[in-house]
Chain A
Amino acid sequence: MTRLRTRVSTVVAALAVTALTACGGSQQEAPAKNADGSTTLDMWTFADVHATYYEEMAERWNEANPDNEIKLEVTVYPYDDMHNKLQLAVNSGEGLPDVVDIEVNKFANFVKGENPPLVDLTEAAAPYQDDVVQARLDLYSKDGKVYGFPTHVGAFTTFYNTEALEGAGIDYTTIKTWDDFKEAGVRYNEETGKAFGVASTSVMFLEPLITAQLGGKFFDADGNVQVNSPEVVETLALMKDMQDAGAISTIPGGSPDSEEAYGAINDGDYAAIVYPAWYTSRFVDYMPDLAGKVAIAPAPVTDDAVVQTIGGGGTGASVPAVSPNKDLAAEWLAFAKLSPEANVAVWQVLGFDPVNMAVWEDEDVTKDPENKFNEYFQTNLFDVLGEVKDGIGHFESFSDPNWPTVDDTFRTVTLNEIYENGTSAQDALDQTQADLQNQLGQ
């Protein structure tokens, strides 16, 4: 009996040890190479077009580095699913990919605390530092360390449906400020009875843009939330005023970047979309009826604007710290996102405004008449970007650790209150400020 008990307890103890070791597998494994000498890199992304792009960049890397080939395996998940899955994975340190796309509004979640679960990519970025728009690297940096590589600048531009505007006798080239925009919108709305611009409730882009132009922020100097500061109130009041006057309206689906909205814009129900430059791809892919009828122009500015535009939206590609192949992953990622040839591909494949400015000057690339984006639009995106090139600011609030919560609250409550329920900007923002202070424990 005693002997039996000893034997049983030995087995149990052995099992327990095995189980514990299995659970504690987060320590680093050595880089593993495949039989043919290549290294497999797992990647997660949330956009199908990104996957196409990365696969292309993996091929080009292999051509340039035959002795250090990679085998890229991209998995595309839906937006929310991917970020939630990643959140669970980084908290447990298990089941992480080697490279991952993190959307800008979620990025701050992953660099919280003293030891973020992402690799410091500063060194990998160094060779390209001079040509890349610094504001976009700042977006994915914390305490001077770069944790993610940007895909695009996302400078704000306005997409005008010129056919619709001509019918109402409006010349879009005269629209420079938000006052001009409002005036044109009111006139268009009176002439045609249709909507001009968009007041989005499920996406917050225009509000940070105008706040930045006014020189404001969503947080105070100590990093405490301050969404009822004079500049933010002025921003929302300006938007509300435009909506009341008829210059902007809400859109089916809540923002221009949704299936329901593509249909409405394609039908000519909205004539002026102020959105980051990457919206070009949505026109080309989802609104074929408007080919040749859309002109790109800079986004309107406020009087005495502090910055002309900021980058809106974006995706930071990062390398999780526990990846066994992190050095190779970082090196490849820098090549795939920051190198000049990668940035040419960003424009050619994705139609985004690349972060490497050297590409903006290369007329063979930017003016290519065969390019599907150049074929679609009346004006050249890079001419527009050239006008705002020196006025692209970094909106610090985007990289605040609490930005995800602020963005979330605005998209669910505040913007709905103001644009849908008619609450005044001051009241809605005071309420939001109280909610956020409590939620963030400030």
Chain B
Amino acid sequence: MKQLLYSKRLAPYLFILPFLVTLAVFWIVPLGRSFVMSTQEVLYGQATFIGLDNYERLWRDRIFWQALYNSLRYTVLTLVLLIPIPLVLAALINSNIGSTRIKTFFKASMFVPALTSVVVAGIVFRLIFAESDVAIMNQVADFLGFGPVRWLRGDATGLVALLAIALWRWTGVNTMYFLAGMQAIPTEYYEAASIDGASKVRQFIHITIPNIRPTIVYVVTISVYGGLSMFLESFMLYAGNNSPNNQGLTVVGYLYRKGIEENDLGFASAVGVVLLAVIMAINISYLVASGTFKKEAA
């Protein structure tokens, strides 16, 4: 036993074993099962092999493409909002503008939404964006001189509501990531730059951004994944998976509708496999383009 534990050859494998087991049980096996199920018609206690029929149906399915379009649109817009805004906020917090106490309070309060449940937040946002003219957003619209708006009935206005949830929820988290990255930058760089007469904006562009690039790459990668796999926000906002004209339907929402609500698990597996392929394609090409896989230059 002692020999086994102290063996230099075996020890590393032993240490990574827990990870490998979890990965296999909760990831590889289900993934493999999904591939198999995506070629089957699954009913209670019977599964029939039907080849690529599910994929063929998926290819011709207008609703699937709509769901994919919705997910991609949401992902792109969350990236547009959730990278620059937190970046600027983090820079402000990291700068010597304003009192530390206020900034600490701000930091903490920005993070709170990430700790709340999406279920609760979704319900609250549904009420905020309700059709009634006494709902908060319609009061705001009225104050600004338009409205009442039927927020969750229109495609664009519904998207505004979804983005509002994303912004409210993730701004604080992304700000924290960027802040952590910024605090790791040695202050000498900034001192040298200011001696050379570089303005704050130029320092931000030429020192801060290049130095936190790994953080930005990481945040973009998880945001792409998070955006494409978004489901719960839409599910809660529309009080279920059925939004008018499927305007809030995402790929995962469609997977859930097909697999769970309509008991077509084979087809739903095909949706899942395609989603995995799309996410991997986007993220891997992004990681390659951003040079993450390159060996550190000596």
Return chain B residues, CB-CB under 8 Å to A4: 1, 4
Given known pairs A112-B263, A405-B262, the reply for A417 and B245 (CB within 8 Å) is yes
Does B237 interact with chain A (Cβ within 8 Å)? Answer: no
User: Mask for A188-214, Cβ within 8 A of B = 1, else 0?
Assistant: 000000000000011000000000000
Q: Select the residue from B4, B45, B249, B256 with max chain A CB neighbours within 10 A.
A: B45
CB pair A90–B57 under 8 Å, yes or no, is no
Q: Which of B58-66, B223-231, B274-282 contacts its partner?
A: B58-66
Interface residues in B114-173 (C-beta closer than 8 Å to A): 130-132, 153
Q: How far is the CA of A322 from the CA of B296 in the complex (A)?
A: 59
**Least distance between B198 CB and chain A CB atoms (Å):** 55
> Chain B residues near A28 (CB, 8 Å)?
none
Q: How many residues of A contact B (CB 8 A)?
A: 38
Give the interface segment out of A49-57, A113-121, A375-383.
A113-121
Interface residues of B in 231-265 (CB under 8 A from A): 240-246, 249, 256-257, 260-263, 265
- Min CB distance B197 to A, Å, is 60
Q: Closest B residue to A408 by CB, please name it.
A: B242
Chain A residues near B187 (CB, 8 Å)? none
**Contact assessment for A408 and B261 in the assembled complex, using a CB-CB cutoff below 8 Å:** yes
Q: Tell me, yes or no, whether A292 is within 8 Å of chain B by CB.
A: no
B interface footprint on A94-132 (CB within 8 Å = 1, 0 otherwise): 000000000000000110111111000000000000000
Q: How many A-B residue pairs have CB under 8 A?
A: 80
Cβ of B99 under 8 Å from chain A: no
Is B29 positioned at the interface, with any CB of A under 8 Å from its CB?
Answer: no
Using known A-B contacts A408-B242, A412-B244, A439-B61, determine if residue A87 contacts B44 with beta carbons closer than 8 Å.
no
A177 to chain B, nearest CB (A): 31
Bound: A252/B153 CA distance, A: 10
- The reply on A166 being an interface residue by CB < 8 A is no
Closest residue of B by beta carbon distance from A106: B261
Asked if residues A438 and B242 are in contact (CB atoms below 8 Å), the reply is no
Q: What 1/0 mask marks residues of chain B from 177 to 190 whose CB sits below 8 Å from any chain A CB?
A: 00000000000000
Q: Is the CB of B246 within 8 A of A115?
A: no
Find the B residue at minimum CB distance from A411.
B242
Q: Which of A50-95 contact B (CB under 8 A)?
A: 80, 83-84, 87-88, 90-91
Alpha-carbon distance A260/B246, docked complex (angstroms): 21
Given A91-B265, A412-B246, A416-B245: A439 and B63 interface contact (C-beta under 8 Å): yes
Query: A16 at interface (Cβ–Cβ under 8 A)?
Result: no
In angstroms, Cα B245 to Cα A91, docked, is 30
Question: Taking the complex as formed, is B23 at the interface, i.e. its CB lies under 8 A from any CB of chain A?
Answer: no
User: Looking at the complex, which one of A1, A253, A438 makes contact with B3 (CB distance below 8 Å)?
Assistant: A1
Residues of B within 8 A of A116 (CB): 44
The answer, yes or no, to whether A387 is at the interface (CB within 8 Å) is: no
A420: Cβ under 8 A from any B Cβ: yes
A77 CB to closest chain B CB, in angstroms? 13
CB distance from A69 to the nearest CB of B (A): 32
B262 A115 Cβ-Cβ under 8 A? no
Q: How large is the interface on B (under 10, 10 to 19, 20 to 34, 35 or more residues)?
A: 20 to 34
Chain B nearest CB, measured from A260 CB (Å): 7
Q: Which residues of B contact A254 (CB under 8 A)?
A: 244
Q: Are the CB atoms of B53 and A412 closer together than 8 Å?
A: no
Contact A438 B60 (CB under 8 A): yes
Query: With A and B bound together, what is the CA distance between A334 and B5 in angstroms?
Result: 64
Query: Given A412-B243, A413-B245, A416-B245, are A91 and B44 neighbors across the interface (CB < 8 Å)?
Result: yes
List the A side residues contacting B112 at CB < 8 Å.
none
Given the known inter-chain contacts A416-B244, A438-B62, A439-B57, please indicate yes or no for A83 contacting B261, CB distance below 8 A.
Answer: yes
Report Cα–Cα, A4/B5, bound state, in Å. 13
Q: Taking A416-B244, A439-B63, A441-B57 as contacts, is the C-beta distance between A115 and B45 under 8 angstroms?
A: yes
A412-B242, A416-B245, A417-B245 are known contacts. Are A112 and B43 too (CB-CB below 8 A)?
A: yes
Q: Does B46 contact A (CB under 8 A)?
A: yes
Q: Scan A350-382; emit 1 where CB is below 8 A from any B CB, else 0.
A: 000000000000000000000000000000000
Cα separation A439 to B53 with both chains bound (whole Å): 11
One of A109, A201, A252 near B262 (C-beta < 8 A): A109
A109→B257 CA distance, assembly (Å): 12
Contacts of A268 in B (CB 8 A): none
Q: In whole angstroms, how far apart are the Cα atoms of A202 and B263 in the complex?
A: 21
Contact (Cβ within 8 A) B244 A201? yes
Most buried by B among A1, A253, A416, A421: A416
Tell whether, in the assembled complex, residue B44 and residue A113 are in contact, meaning their CB atoms are under 8 Å apart: yes
Is the CB of A435 closer than 8 A to any CB of chain B?
yes
Residue from B53, B62, B260 in contact with A87 in the complex, judged by beta carbons closer than 8 Å: B260
The distance from the CB of A121 to the nearest CB of chain B, in whole angstroms, is 17
Please give, as numbers and ranges, the residues of chain B lying within 8 Å of A117 by CB-CB distance: 44
Q: Does B44 lie within 8 Å of A435, measured CB to CB?
A: no
Contact, CB under 8 Å: B63 / A113 = no
Q: Which residue of B lies closest to A321 (CB)?
A: B44
Task: Give CA–CA (A141, B62) in the complex, Å.
Answer: 33
B43, B130, B246, B262 — which one has the most chain A CB atoms within 10 A of its CB? B262
The residue of chain A having its C-beta at the shortest distance from the C-beta of B154 within the complex is: A420
CB pair A420–B130 under 8 Å, yes or no, is no
A435 touches B263 (CB 8 A): no
Collect the chain A residues with CB atoms within 8 Å of residue B242's CB: 202, 408, 411-412
Q: How far is the CA of A110 from the CA of B260 in the complex (A)?
A: 11
> Is residue A391 contacting chain B, with contact meaning CB distance below 8 A?
no
| Chain A residues with CB below 8 A from B43, complex form | 112-114
Whether the Cβ atoms of B62 and A408 lie closer than 8 Å is no
> Looking at the complex, which one of B3, B153, B256 makes contact with A420 (CB distance below 8 Å)?
B153
A324 within 8 Å of B (CB atoms): no
Contacts of A404 in B (CB 8 A): 261-262
Please, could you name 23 A-B residue pairs with CB atoms under 8 Å apart, sorted by A?
Answer: A4-B1, A80-B240, A80-B241, A87-B260, A91-B263, A91-B265, A113-B45, A115-B44, A116-B44, A117-B44, A202-B242, A252-B132, A253-B131, A254-B244, A260-B131, A404-B261, A405-B262, A408-B242, A412-B243, A412-B245, A417-B245, A421-B245, A438-B60
- 13 extra A-B contacts, CB within 8 A, seeds A83-B261, A435-B63: A4-B1, A4-B4, A87-B260, A109-B261, A113-B43, A113-B46, A201-B244, A412-B243, A412-B244, A420-B244, A438-B57, A438-B62, A441-B53
Top 8 nearest A-B pairs (CB, nearest first) are A113-B43, A412-B242, A109-B263, A416-B244, A84-B260, A438-B60, A113-B44, A416-B245
